[in-house]
Chains A and B, each alone.
Chain A
Amino acid sequence: MEVREILLGDEAVALGALHAGISGAFGYPGTPSTEMFEYVEPLAAEYGIHARWSANEKVAYEEALGMSFAGKRAIVSMKHVGLNVAADAFVNSGVTGVNGGLVLMVADDPGMHSSQNEQDSRFYAKFAAVPCYEPKNQQECYDMVREAFDVSERLRLPIVLRMVTRLAHSRADVVIGDRRPQNGLNPPTDKQQFTLLPTNARRNWAALVARQGEIIGESEASRFNRLELEGRDRKIGIIANGVACNYVREAFGGEVPHAMLSISRYPLPLGLIRKLIEACESIYVFEEGYPLIEEAIAGINGIGKPLHGRSDGTVPATGELTPAIAMDVFGIGRTGGIKSTLGHVPGRPPKLCQGCSHADSYTLIKEVLKDYPVKRTFSDIGCYTLGFYEPFDGVHSCVDMGASVSMAKGASHGGLFPVVATIGDSTFMHSGMTGLVGAARDNANMTLCILDNSSVAMTGTQETMATGDALYNVVRGLGVPEEHIKIINPLRNKMEQNAAILKAEVEYRGLSVIILRRICVQAARKARG
């Protein structure tokens, strides 16, 4: 009998990977990718596999690559900007190739629901010259990841599975297949493949480039790239990718009257694209993400017939696509929608929770900085970025994981004073440590506040790498002098004494680290059950 399960897109990837016989799952939390790992984690014992969060995405990717080296299958997950962190390992893994199957699930966030940018991971797959899958629905999430592991072992390459928020965080029922056993231990017999000395790397890279024709051929033949010409109107030819294909179909009420090429496997199926262009009078590219397909088609001289997409403004240049946008692009009238008699509906941005330690930390920092004419605070990625809003007004930068520390250091060298930075415990362990080593060596004139709430809070209170004493020991070990490491609990009734401590360290002409230690209220609630 057919077995169906209700799964988020992320969870369908996870179950597909489990059924494909992975021996390990690796990752760092990041919306909208987190649920892939979270689905696997509690099943790790049952499946006899390794699953524990890594310190950051680069570490996670390398751990997965190491498991592949051993001959086993591994999945690694991260959000799109996490792939920037893992890019060194990822791009080079195209040159090493893999041994056991390796699939990277990277979740993009078009529209920036919960991110700093809307970069498109398909470019990374192209950059590393490795295949990429892009599921349209939850069933494909499950099916593609299984196929991707087989392809990974056949081509001996890592495979990218590109997710987007709308699929990662959407549920549907999925038909489940059989469970494949794990691979046996089978490390590589040659020592060149994974050793990227220039002499090996040049050979591997040339071989990878030489195989692109074969890899493109697989895209042409893939059941996930579909060209529909027969019986279709050819005045307009449509090219869409991943979930954007759904929006086009939805816009036309299920049946698209025009010629259409749906792309869900890369590198681009050049032959199929040529066929569509030759057959049609004009081409519309409806692409979720950056105009990767559109630019590849346009080149410099264009295609000799009208080409429309994000580049010419036919499709909005930025942001997430929707069925409504597809209707507008293809001139399908839309009605409906009711006007609110309220007129303006005030926004309701997210907030720090009742009792959140970050709220008290920002109140403390604001109190101490009130005496200084220039108040600039560097912050980082996490719930505490919400300190940007009133009444805290305590964030003047948030760029990337760990940037608070290094930007503060740079600004201090530029003469800014006082320099205060805030970073959470998990973000610190992810990428703050490396910045702090330099700050300690130079004794940079800055005060780093580590908001230690024992949790990766924003993504759902995942386990953190080091908290409490372990975190203190890390800070000390990085070279920060003990007399300038202060641990406080940012309680409101200790405001006066805490302010005196913080003020003294801000005034100290050198590096100080204040650890503001109090558990996240959500994590505490979860721990209580």
Chain B
Amino acid sequence: MKYDVILAGVGGQGILTIAYLLDNAAINRGLRFKQAEVHGMAQRGGAVYSHMRISDREIVSDIIPEGRADMVLSVEPLEIHRYLYMLSPEGVVVSNIAPVINIPDYPDQGVVLDALYNLPRPVALDAGAIATEAGVPKAENMAMAGAATAYMPFDLSDYEPIIRKLFERKGPEMVVANMKVLENGYRVGKFTRALLEAGLPGAVACRAVAMCRPDSLDVVHAPRVVELLRGQKVGEVLSKAREGLITLDDLIVELA
């Protein structure tokens, strides 16, 4: 077993905390890991990345060979595109949809999102909304880690002791809130994965998931959603303007 991830984002988005979480989860499971990161000047609002390698055997190189990464995870949707050359043909991308526009030539946001949805295996989430909903708006990175977990050799219970170590001194409610963010990110990841593996196009899967409250996404209902999304009214339902999010049950009713 090996799992190689490029963690990407903009300096200050907390990708090193994602790395910390995954490093510790790996070691607690008795797995090997290596995780190379960028320090220094690039941390000042520039593009930052980390190579995260997990394996049940010895890992030789600290950096992932080009074209061999199993996942590119980005806390910012433009940054995904900087590392696609690293992704294996079977690889997945997990991206936040909220842009960080701190450069003058940032492309049109719609174009950036379409480019994400059109990748072979995209998981998209509104990490900021998930974090804010749990009362910890800065915990976007935790939502991302949760979503990534849908593909990684971990489950949420691996994170609890690590989250406790990270946040306990700030109060027990911070531990609960961060675990909540991880869980809702995980629900998005897991549900999107189920839709993609059933053969739905990325754009359809991501748009459908984006309509739903993350805490309502229960993967047991994924087959039903797949069946309905293959039906006639897909475009109509998915493009209908709405205020706020609906539950998965409501989506199923609408699609049916």
Contacts and interface: CB of A to CB of B under 8 A. Distances in A.
Contact of A350 (B42, B87, B89): B42
A31 B65 contact: no
Given A249-B61, A337-B84, A345-B78, A166 B106 contact: no
Interface in B13-54: 19, 23-24, 27, 32-47, 51
Contacts of A249: 60-61
Nearest to A171: B35
Given A6-B24, A345-B82, A350-B11, A113 B45 contact: no
Interface string A326-359: 0100000011111111100111111111000000
A224 B115 CA distance: 48
Given A169-B36, A336-B66, A346 B106 contact: yes
B36 A339 contact: no
11 contacts: A167-B62, A169-B37, A170-B34, A170-B36, A170-B37, A336-B68, A338-B85, A340-B81, A345-B82, A346-B107, A348-B47
B22 to A, nearest CB: 10
A401 interface: no
A302 B128 CA distance: 61
Interface string A307-329: 00000000000000011100100
A473 interface: no
A407 interface: no
B67 A336 contact: yes
Interface residues of A, number: 50
A337 B66 contact: yes
Contacts of A323: 61, 63-66
A4 interface: yes
Given A171-B23, A172-B33, A342-B107, 8 more contacts: A31-B39, A113-B40, A113-B42, A323-B61, A323-B64, A324-B66, A342-B112, A346-B106
Contact of A327 (B24, B42, B63, B65): B65
Nearest to B112: A342
Interface string A99-119: 000000000000001100000
Q: Is the interface of A mostly helix, strand, loop or mixed?
A: loop
A254 B120 CA distance: 29
A341 B122 CA distance: 14
Contacts of B102: 348, 351
B10 interface: yes
Given A170-B36, A170-B62, A336-B88, A348 B107 contact: no
A458 interface: yes
Given A32-B39, A171-B35, A350-B41, A337 B23 contact: no
A153 B40 CA distance: 34
A278 interface: no
A460 B60 CA distance: 29
A339 B84 contact: yes
B111 interface: yes
Find the residue from A114, A137, A338, A383 having the highest chain B CB count within 10 A.
A338
B220 interface: no
A166 B62 contact: yes
B27 A348 contact: no
Contact of B61 (A6, A247, A335, A342): A247
B62 to A, nearest CB: 4
Contacts of A458: 40-41, 44
B241 interface: no
Nearest to A249: B60
B105 interface: yes
Interface in A198-213: none
A183 interface: no
Contacts of A247: 61, 63
A206 B232 CA distance: 89
Contacts of A346: 78, 103, 105-107
Contacts of B42: 113-114, 350
Find the residue from A114, A335, A340, A386 having the highest chain B CB count within 10 A.
A340
Find the residue from B61, B67, B119 having the highest chain A CB count within 10 A.
B61
Contacts of B79: 348
Contacts of A114: 39-42
A34 interface: yes
Contact of A173 (B27, B45, B85): B27
Given A113-B42, A335-B89, A341 B118 contact: yes
Contacts of A169: 36-39
A514 B115 CA distance: 50
B34 A250 contact: no
